[in-house]
Structure 1
Amino acid sequence: MNKEELDREIEEIVKIGKLAGERISDFMQSGEPFILHAGTGLPGAAALKAYLQGLSWGKVPPFLSVTDFLYGTLPYAEEKLKVVFFMGSARERNLAVSLISGLEVMNADFIIVTPLPEDPILRERASSESFVSVSGTPDPVLTEIIASSFAGLSYAEKRGLREDMRIYRLRNELASLNEVYTQLLYERCGELADLVSQAVDIDVVYTPFLQSSAFSLYYKFLGLGKKVRINDSDSTLPFVEALSSTVLLFTSVEEASLRELLLRLQKGKKIAKLLRFNTDPLSALIYASFFSRCFAQ
């Protein structure tokens, strides 16, 4: 993909992501939501969780799979609920139908962030206002991540959770995404290309803030026909010696927690590509997610 094509694609992803983010932010203004995910909706949900947590002085929003919510939370709720559900593909349709039915019984407020806002089965169950569209882009997963980033930042600003230089800097970065990241990817996509082209088995390992970015790469590698495993860095420690070709995503803020993992990778002479991001973890989340476009099909 040449730079002009990449420019156009990312411009469209950012445009649609921003519109979706504004809708999500508006919905959240009346109260903090449960953030739910299923299938390839996980990266978008994880990004929203990271932004709300990072910009709310460490307060962690409820973050659950749909099944966990349906059977572990919804039956016992005593207060009116608000839900943002990230649905990645048609494979999650049955889960979405079950969720909508349960939420309606409980008179809950909800929106569904999805590339399938016109799905006829879902539209029979909920009004058009219940759907936030991320359709019309070449990468719905990345679009959901961008939408969540805009939503989390806007929510923090409107609710007065933060008024500092971090908010100012993140706002400026989001405003210039297409020009910054197209140049970045055009220069750096080759870093992963050799490892991925030669590897049959790949392990994707990530630190907490880069969960959404790691899963976007994971899905992309699966689409390329690779055998892929994915784990967070802490869970990986017991089986470092069993890792295959490894892509490790981490921020400089989290690097101290990786000393043992990095040492064991080196001792085992494992083939590894280290994607280190020396920036704000919330900036790194977006920055790393764009690497999925290196493997656009």
Structure 2
Amino acid sequence: MKLKVLDVIKEIKDIASTNLEDKSTYIAKFISERPNVILTYTGSYSSPATYMTLLLRSLTKVNANFFPPKELTYYVVPYDEGCEARILIYSSVDGLSELNILMDQLRLTGHEFIVITPTALPDILSCKIPKERIIELNLEGKDRYWPLLAHIVSGLAIAKLMDMKGVRASRVWNELSNVVPVIDSLISYYEGDIEDVVEFLSQPLLITSTPTMKAVAEYLAYSRDIRVKRFLVNAEGIRNFVRFINRLLIIETDVEEYSMKEIKGLALTAASEIKELKFKTDPLTAPIYGLIVARIIEYLYSRKVGRIE
């Protein structure tokens, strides 16, 4: 399989080698200056914001809360007087209209915020915020790597916020600072799983995940290169959908495996066909490895159906 994916492996390595030192330092400093932080997103991908929330709650003493953008805009920030939490917005390329509305509301209510984005914001948006508070990841033409790079910069920021102290914070820093050297062995280790998932994508399916692996589920669900009908469903809602589509891809870590036990029982009670994509690593760094594997799955699927971009 490796010969088939040499080009995309090189592309992944180039992306993972991006220098995020200044960007992660600024994010860490922004968070450290207030005890309360709110995470949100605009566009399709919520996982960078939910991942940052998990990191903050697991590794720091920061009071971190996650809100979907509309809930934040209309029901939280207008009534946040006396708290004025700082806000981190992860804005996907398809979320600019929503970002515009959210930014206007935050400016009206006096909240400080930063925008983390894969590409440069249009002038109509960038003029509304100090330049240094726009964290561009410079992914013009490569925005498919937005979830991967957003997760890496978030993990590095939290490790810096913790000054790399503590076993897990040090591990996050070491792993995310050394992603490139392990990519080849990662793909070799999960080669069988990759091929199985590519084959499983041949018919309509549901996709779900544990909380830490949400990015991988979103990536495979939203990919423009994967043409099969598929639906991203929260784990809690799976039982309501299997009567319509009884094929399920579960993305998880071995540490979180037990939380999916009830869903796996559907293989018996609902005659469902289940495929697991399970990662054997720390849940706090697993989504980064999962996103690399997901990109390989996407690429091999495209080769299989004769559609490569």
TM class, shorter-length: 0.7 to 0.9
**Which structure ranks higher in relative contact order (CA pairs < 8 Å, sequence separation ≥ 6)?**
1
SS at match of 2:249: strand
Identity rate, percent:
19
C-alpha separation in 2, matches of 1:142 and 1:279 = 17
Of 243-252 and 63-72, the range deviating more from structure 2 = 243-252
C-alpha separation in 2, matches of 1:238 and 1:5 = 37
Amino acid aligned to 2:175:
E
Mapping 1:215-294, distance limit 5 Å? 215-220=218-223, 222-294=224-296
Of 263-272 and 40-49, the range deviating more from structure 2 = 263-272
> TM-score by structure 1 length?
0.86
Flag the 1:104–1:218 CA change in 2: closer, same or farther, 3 A: same
SS at match of 1:125: coil
C-alpha separation in 2, matches of 1:235 and 1:19 = 40
C-alpha separation in 2, matches of 1:116 and 1:136 = 5
How much has 1:273 moved relative to structure 2?
2.0
Q: Is 1:191 aligned to 2:193, yes or no?
A: no
SS at match of 2:174: helix
Task: Kindly report structure 1 stretches of 4+ aligned residues shifted beyond 6 Å.
Answer: none
Unmatched tracts of structure 2, length 5 or more: 300-308
C-alpha deviations, 1:230-279, integer Å up to 9, x for none? 12223323444443432101122222222221122245443332011232
Q: Is 1:51 aligned to 2:62, yes or no?
A: no
Give the conservation status (yes or no) of the 8 Å contact 1:204–1:229.
Answer: yes
C-alpha separation in 1, matches of 2:212 and 2:37 = 20
Higher helix share: 1
Which residue of structure 2 lines up, in the alignment, with residue 175 of structure 1?
Answer: 177
SS at match of 1:15: coil
CA RMSD of aligned residues (A): 2.4
How much has 1:223 moved relative to structure 2?
4.2
SS at match of 1:243: coil
Give the conservation status (yes or no) of the 8 Å contact 1:114–1:132.
Answer: yes
SS at match of 1:71: helix
C-alpha separation in 1, matches of 2:11 and 2:119 = 22
Give the conservation status (yes or no) of the 8 Å contact 2:43–2:98.
Answer: no
Give the conservation status (yes or no) of the 8 Å contact 1:241–1:264.
Answer: no
> TM-score by structure 2 length?
0.83
Which residue of structure 1 lines up, in the alignment, with residue 210 of structure 2?
Answer: 207
Aligned length in residues: 288
How much has 1:166 moved relative to structure 2?
2.0
Unmatched tracts of structure 1, length 5 or more: none
